[in-house]
Structure 1
């Protein structure tokens, strides 16, 4: 498990580097107009709409209002920034109210698909692009009663026939101490924005999963060794920072809990700043307890408890006014922690060196976040998730050293106690109990990983004409499938099936990365090869040496066209009333074996295949757990040439005899036939079967 933790940390850090191929260019709009250059419209460019926008306070202006007559802005306002830091006619803009933001983009290529990505706005908005209402977040009203606040990161695709486009925001804030367009809107070609937001969300999901797994691991360590509370405090740190990942920037919590009230999200967000402060001091006091000043700790605990009560008991527009003071308190905690760590280093405490290295990274991230949320410095966004992961890595080293010392002490005592028979017997019994407890810990971890993996598998198929069968092996395997409704055309349905090489927790982690990545791209693309390319880019260098065979196809129920891309996966079957055929097509190498540049250089890039099927035809997709299953007696055969698998012995004959049956009947016959052929319902590999009927 320690190796898995290290893998998670390094993968998360290095995956951040994958964003480097997305180039960010500032639009620098002036007086509400941005002139874009040709270089800003290439496929891998994201345009940050930072700059000066038109601002109309206390009124909602619609696209038609700017056509009927010339509108004079009340002022020009900087984006991103809160509006109550600006003045109109010498008077400061109030915290609460409503306004219109307007920006015109010029020199954009016509007949092109674009997208605009918005993290969130304080606290509700409507968005008009090119004269059309394209979306909203919450309800932007004209008073507190008619305004419904909400945070949700949104991507808005659109296209234009002209070389300029008008962007209008109606923004209302009657619930928060700061209002306005406080995050940078990001604009670019559709594929670039999807790619960039996919990586952003994928990174958040990955960090969230890493924090939870590392935290649960150290909770188990604490339950096994309760005399040392450092593991428990480390668990609290992991969970509290995972809450911060959920409740900042992309606000993943609104995806897990779509109906969660806005004020609860804000309270969680502020809790995720208070609880880590307390957890860090608890952890520091447990690993460097000889060097801390306990009265300072108790004072911080009391003050933090007071602020936590404010967050729980008062309204959002009240407690948020005083959180800046708590941020100053956090800076005091940071300085105190550095003092304690340096003091421990002076006294030659080995653990303090690792604590200092990790703390410096986290301190930089925390200070950056304070400046970011205070709107003083916003060049890097929030860095606390990455800084925290690196901190957890170094603290894992500290805990490992502590545990190693404990084990070395036990070994030394065991050698000395071997002279006494009774004491030696006691030591051996103790070691046996440790092994038993460790085995239970591993079983719990495996059970958790298996439960997480099962959550990825759809509980039902999207259509009655689709049948699916999934039987996992006893160990944790790597088979996965899912279905995706294509946003651009409701007649299109995407179906994905994959098999990760290897088994165990690494395979489950790769499956989780595949799941989160596909959720970001599959519903928005009609090109299976591009989806495969995006997926390969996202998981390359993150699979710990495992590769993935996969197939992704899009079925058009209107005309029977099935468009697919096969990355080293077993070829599916086509069943018609007259024949049983294999859908061979053009294959590409499995995912995560080569990066996209290597594939292009070797002319092995992901290919698109297309077949047209008549009404009543059926498609059968599966993993090699079906075809490679062997008879129960064959497992006792010494000579490999005598082993007969399910594909050789049964599959062709069974498909030929059932080609005119319904797809559900065919899938049932395959699963029952496999169980009978195998002699039991326990398999050496995952078995996955998907059937689609036109």
Structure 2
């Protein structure tokens, strides 16, 4: 209603304001997603790698002094025994072997007897000996990479790792596409590493990635950082997919958003199946996950990529695309999917050829569509071509790497190709939205001039202008709905705030985001510790608010779940310490001070004991008409690269209390006390609510039943704000222990 009033009063101002709101909303979302992608791909974990390569199956470091952070990469010449699985105790008796370069597929090795390359399917034993420096022989671990088929790893004649079923019969194959990080026992002056590999059915065989030796905690930290970023990248892919699905629901005629969402979703499934994830490790370690499903999900998503890509290009360039293109690519995808219904040992024999045929046809169709569009000078064809070129070049690079043709020292560049492709496609979609709004603007300006020049057409032109304004208002509402959809996603991650009542019957959570999505978050769970029921409750305030703060809340929620539920860490100070380390590690190489202020309690229902620790956030206890503030540490969680060297100065202490009857606990972010407003005493000066006033307020409302306290706090806040905007996200949690 406000927009129409503006238009009637200020015609020019109204049209510009509507256009600004709509265009800015779309570009803001795409800009945030783009910045996140650039931030993700520019982030990496630091790891010192020793550049010495093995010679004649030996890496001799016995006369060297190594930095404890250095990692030994087991690359270079390994002993290679073809068509044999040799036990370590018998390996010295073998006379027939050759030295081969690792990592690379054994398809590239030549049989010294025949001069021909070995076949992709078969069996082999690898061996390498590592003589360790004197200062680096304890607390060692070995990083076993994904070998893509069944394998066994022996260290000093002891079997330490086994994946899949060792067989040369394709019908009995059970390939496992995963690696592991294992700690080596005792003090080792020398490591004798023997790897047995079985590949009865896959089109590529051998060791394709590097084994690594190093201090366990360093390798573990690198692994966790890599898995964290991989998880963020995966979550971002699915978030982008859901976001574009939502755009399609609001604008069904814009089918390009649907097809782009599907492309991103399929890329996410591929990444989920083959990348390093806690999710995938958990499936293999704790469930009866059928490993034969992994290649089916992977290749199924891979085959669906190509017809979806053709549909996407057809939606962008309908005049340049031919009608037969989608039926051809879709038919090939359907045929390929039918092959996935066959037993694994059968479809793996044809899968490589199906991939090549589909890729060649999709590239040919893409070249035809884009080439014609470039010739006709269609909009955004350069961006589109660059995005697809990045994706294809990185895919070809990684494909050649897997068969032993190394163009660079990097193994996995396809994710950067995906990132460039997605960024450019998001730019294309955003620009198309912008162009649509610009056309509306041009039409509006022309109408305004015609109204002034042609008084006889005033009524007709004003009607058309109202229609355009209505369209712009609808588009603006669609974008706002997308943000609200993101808020629902955040709410589903945080869970229902009323769930606190399952832990404490008399409790409340006042949760008021400033910008739809919030940088404050709550977290709680119930655990059984030593046969006693414990409730753990967290109140956290992340850096920023809105979309950036919301991403921090998702990370904080996941890390708390990992630390408390998965790792069973329940001491509040230990939880904060681990949380701080993981947040610092995540942003270690970034020039940022992102983090969070947090308070956490662990309440034992059996003993009425509460343990509290805080990172800049306090705990308030109200008992017998008095309020006590228990302060937390002066350090926040995180803090970024500039404060990283001061980690050792950080400390989080636990305060323990036995609660008397009729005690109320309060935890809160600083949003309530920092809110600007006016008191009811008639003063006109705008001021903050302040911490002292907030503490007195908590004492006052503690006299009320807990069921009324949330509404009372909310009403007092609204009376204080009056016409002022909400300053920050607001979170207040109250628990009454009778």
TM-score by length of 2: 0.72
Please state how far the C-alpha of 1:408 moved relative to its aligned partner. 3.0
Secondary structure in 2 matching 1:687 = strand
2:518 aligns to what?
477
State the partner residue of 2:239. 213
Q: Structure 1 residue 161: deviation in Å?
A: 1.8
- Alignment-derived partner of residue 4 in structure 1: 29
Determine if contact 1:532/1:606 at 8 Å carries over to the other structure.
no
Residues 247, 482 of structure 2: 8 Å contact kept: no
Change (3 A) 1:413 1:481: closer
Query: Which residue of structure 1 aligns with residue 378 of structure 2?
Result: 349
Map 1:284-295 to 2 at 5 A. Answer: 284-292=313-321, 295=324
Give the equivalent residue in structure 1 for 2:553.
511
1:360-439 pair list within 5 angstroms: 360-377=389-406, 379-414=409-444, 415-416=446-447, 419=457, 421-422=459-460, 424-425=462-463, 427-429=465-467, 431-432=469-470, 434-436=472-474, 438-439=476-477
For 1:522-566, what per-residue CA distance to the aligned partner results, in whole angstroms no more than 9, with x for missing partners?
A: 9789796575254135247989996532468999xxxx9999783
Query: Are the aligned partners of 2:57 and 2:127 in contact in 1 as well (CA < 8 Å)?
Result: yes
Counterpart CA distance in 1 for 2:112 and 2:591 is 58
**1:367 deviation in Å?**
1.6
192, 198, 206: which one aligns with 2:218: 192
Q: C-alpha displacement at 1:607, in angstroms?
A: 0.8
Aligned partners of 1:458, 1:74: CA distance in 2, in Å? Answer: 66
Q: Distance in 1 between matches of 2:506 and 2:650?
A: 27
Specify whether residues 27 and 383 from structure 1 end up closer, same or farther in structure 2 by C-alpha distance, changes over 3 A only.
same
User: How far did residue 36 of structure 1 move?
Assistant: 4.0
Matches within 5 A, 1:227-306: 227-250=253-276, 254=280, 259-292=288-321, 295=324, 298-306=327-335
The 1:142–1:413 alpha-carbon spacing in structure 2 relative to 1, beyond 3 Å, is closer
CA distance in 2, matches of 1:140, 1:337: 42
Alpha-carbon spacing, 1:442–1:160, altered in 2? closer, same or farther (3 Å): farther
Please, which of 320, 325, 336 is the counterpart of residue 348 of structure 2?
A: 320
Alpha-carbon deviation of 1:280? 2.2
CA distance in 2, matches of 1:125, 1:575: 61
CA contact (8 A) 2:613 2:632 kept: no
Specify which of 649, 656, 666 is matched with residue 696 of structure 2.
649
CA shift, 1:570, in A, is 0.9
| 8 Å contact kept, 1:477–1:508 | yes
Residue of structure 2 in register with 1:664 after alignment: none
* SS across alignment from 2:518: coil
Query: 1:26 & 1:574 partners in 2: Cα distance?
Result: 58
Deviations 1:90-147 (A, max 9, x none): 4876756666544433215456433333442333445455666555445557867876
- The CA distance in 2 between the partners of 1:166 and 1:620, in whole Å, is 59
CA distance in 1, matches of 2:65, 2:412: 25
Q: Residues 50 and 260 of structure 1: is their aligned pair in 2 closer, same or farther, counting only changes over 3 Å?
A: same
The whole-number CA distance in structure 1 between the counterparts of 2:538 and 2:613 is 10
Q: Partner of 1:191: helix, strand, or coil? A: helix
CA distance in 2, matches of 1:52, 1:173: 21
CA shift, 1:471, in A, is: 5.5
**1:196–1:644 CA distance, 2 compared to 1 (3 A):** closer
Q: Contact 2:104–2:403 (CA<8 Å) still a contact in 1?
A: no
Secondary structure of residue in 2 paired with 1:105: strand
Aligned to 2:75: 50
Q: Is the 8 A contact 1:198 1:521 kept in 2?
A: no
Give the Cα–Cα distance (whole angstroms) in 2 for the partners of residues 465 and 145 of structure 1.
Answer: 56
Determine whether 1:161 maps to 2:191: no
Per-residue CA deviation, residues 618-669 of structure 1 (Å, 9 max, x unaligned), is 99894426974999997998666795878522657999x9xxxxxxxxxx99
Counterpart of 2:492 in structure 1 is: 454
Q: Does the 8 Å CA contact 1:137/1:150 hold for their aligned counterparts? A: yes
Deviation at 1:266, TM superposition (A): 0.6
Whether the 8 Å CA contact 1:528–1:554 is kept in 2: the answer is no
Unpaired segments ≥5 residues, structure 2: 1-25, 452-456, 527-531, 604-608, 719-725
Secondary structure at the aligned position of 2:207 is classed as coil
Query: How far apart, in 2, do the equivalents of 1:678 and 1:282 lie?
Result: 50
Structure 1: stretches of 5+ with no match in the other structure:
486-490, 658-667
Label 1:73 to 1:260 Cα distance change in 2 as closer, same or farther (>3 A).
farther
CA distance in 2, matches of 1:35, 1:11: 43
Contact 2:201–2:348 (Cα < 8 Å) also in 1: no
Cα separation, partners in 2 of 1:647 and 1:274, compared to 1, 3 Å: same
Contact 1:99 1:172 in 2 (8 A): yes
**Which is higher, the Rg of structure 1 or of structure 2?**
2
Whether 1:15 aligns to 2:40 is: yes
* Structure 1 residues 688 and 259: alpha-carbon distance in aligned structure 2, compared to 1, 3 A threshold: farther
Q: Which residue of 2 aligns with 1:79?
A: 102
- CA separation in 2, counterparts of 1:140 and 1:619? 62
Q: CA deviation at 1:385?
A: 2.6
* CA-atom RMSD in angstroms: 5.3
Alpha-carbon distance between aligned partners in 2 of 1:105 and 1:480, rounded to the nearest angstrom: 49
Kept after mapping to 2: 8 A contact 1:468/1:688: no
Question: Structure 1's 148 and 518: CA in aligned 2 closer, same or farther, altered over 3 A?
Answer: farther
Q: Which residue is 1:107 aligned to?
A: 132
Quick one: distance in 2 between partners of 1:465 and 1:79?
A: 59
Mapped partners of 1:338, 1:87: distance in 2:
37
Q: 1:587 aligns with which of 634, 638, 641?
A: 634
Matching residue within 99, 102, 117 for 2:143: 117
CA distances 1:38-90 after superposition (whole Å, capped 9, x unpaired): 9895354443323344456677666xx63x99453763554334456557784
Would the aligned equivalents of 1:358 and 1:391 in 2 still touch at CA under 8 Å?
yes
* Deviation, structure 1 residue 472: 3.8
Q: Which stretch has the larger CA shift, 6-15 or 388-397? A: 6-15
Taking structure 1 as the reference length, what is the TM-score of the superposition? 0.76
Q: How many residues align?
A: 666
Secondary structure of the residue aligned to 2:488 is helix
1:185–1:162 CA distance, 2 compared to 1 (3 A): closer
Find the counterpart in structure 2 of residue 687 from structure 1: 731
- Mean Cα deviation higher: 200-209 or 642-651: 642-651
Q: Distance in 1 between matches of 2:370 and 2:121?
A: 44
